[in-house]
Amino acid sequence: MTPSFDRIGPALPTSPVVLSVPHAGRDYPQALADRLRVPLVQLRPLEDRHVDTLALAARADEVAIVARRPRAWIDLNRSERDRDPRVDLGAARFGTLQLSTRVRGGLGLIPRRAAAGTEIWARPWSADDVAARIHGDHRPYHAAVADALAAARARFGIAVLLDVHSMPPLPGVAPARIVIGDRFGRTAAARFVGRIEGCARRAGLVVALNTPYAGGHILERHAEPGRDIHAVQLEIDRTLYLDDALDAPGGQFDAVARFVRDVIDALADEAQPAGLAAE
């Protein structure tokens, strides 16, 4: 089986900004396909379709941790304890679980649904199956993110994680096209969020903060603002950069990549203002 993620960039970070792309993987293992009760294409709503392509187009020399395995295999933005007993026989090992809203809705560590009402598995996964994914995919991904942030902080005195996602179009008359998540102010200093808001407004994009997406396990696990490790989640409306079928990069892809590049540059500048960095 191919590696479950790629670590892209220099061993010694050249920027305080680290990119994480956990939900865009398209390497579907045969074991997953063999267990489905629906056609493979019906898992696509779980993907942040081609947001990895977008992030890598925006990237210069920043370290990026990019998942290859699909979210349907294991959700890297969920805690190891977000176990759904309806599809994960290992969940019983935790005793009586206080199931989160996301798990109850079918979006736990091993997703049960791809869209509302669509159950995706023909039968549950064994405890050993899920344990193998936790040890082989989930923990190594988070270890790579933690190592990259530690290296960036060691070199620059500060690190900023930009966790890149995409979202379906939001409802409303003038809905947000960009949603910034900082766990309601817990995972990043307000100045970093302010810089992203400024980038969105310069690009003519309506922006929202923490609604409806405040960020998930990746931010909760890796952010330590008190130690100058900040983390923000960036949600981008898929209609901005994909084609009409929401399948492949579309006509505005390059413009959205420039926006993401602007966000990365703004975060780096806020972390290390040019005058300070030159001293």
**pLDDT one-digit tens code per residue, 19-36:** 999 999 999 999 999 999
Give tens-digit pLDDT for 86-99: 999 999 876 555 78
Render the burial of 238-269: b for 16+ CB within 10 Å, e for the rest: bbbbbeeebeebbeebeebbebbbbbbbbbbe
Q: pLDDT at position 3, please?
A: 84
Separation between Cα atoms, residue 207 and residue 201, nearest integer Å? 7
> Which tokens go with 17?
């900004």
Q: How many CB atoms lie within 10 A of CB 201?
A: 12
Q: pLDDT at position 94, please?
A: 66
Architecture, CATH, for domain 5-70+150-278: 3-Layer(aba) Sandwich (3.40)
> Residue 149 above 50 pLDDT?
yes
Q: How confident is the model at residue 279 (pLDDT cuts 50, 70, 90)?
A: very low
Q: Where are the domains of the chain?
A: 5-70+150-278
Of 162, 133, 263, residue with least CA distance to 222: 162
Among 67-81, 90-104, 159-173, name the one with the lowest average pLDDT: 90-104
Separation between Cα atoms, residue 18 and residue 141, nearest integer Å? 13
Of 160, 137, 138, residue with least CA distance to 149: 160
Separation between Cα atoms, residue 2 and residue 5, nearest integer Å? 9
Contact status, residue 76 vs residue 4, Cβ threshold 8 Å:
no
Q: How large is the average pLDDT for residues 53-78?
A: 98
Q: pLDDT at position 274, please?
A: 58
Say which residue the tokens 């909760």 belong to: 220
> Which tokens go with 66?
């990019």
Q: How confident is the model at residue 49 (pLDDT cuts 50, 70, 90)?
A: very high
Give the chain's mean pLDDT. 94
Percent of all residues in the chain with a pLDDT value above 70, rounded to a whole number: 96
> Which tokens go with 43?
């898992």
DSSP H helices in 119-252: 127-133, 139-156, 190-202, 217-222
Q: Is the peptide bond before 212 cis (omega within 30 degrees of 0)?
A: yes
Q: pLDDT at position 118, please?
A: 85
pTM of the model: 0.95
Among 58-67, 93-102, 197-206, 216-225, name the one with the lowest average pLDDT: 93-102
> Residue 54 above 60 pLDDT?
yes
Contact status, residue 20 vs residue 218, Cβ threshold 8 Å:
yes
Q: pLDDT at position 278, please?
A: 39
**Helix, strand, coil share of the chain (percent; to 5):** 40, 15, 45
Q: pLDDT at position 35, please?
A: 97
> Which tokens go with 237?
């409306």
Length of the chain counted residue by residue: 279
Q: pLDDT at position 2, please?
A: 75
Q: How large is the average pLDDT for residues 198-224?
A: 98
Q: pLDDT at position 99, please?
A: 83
255, HSE (Cβ side, Cα atoms, 13 Å): 12
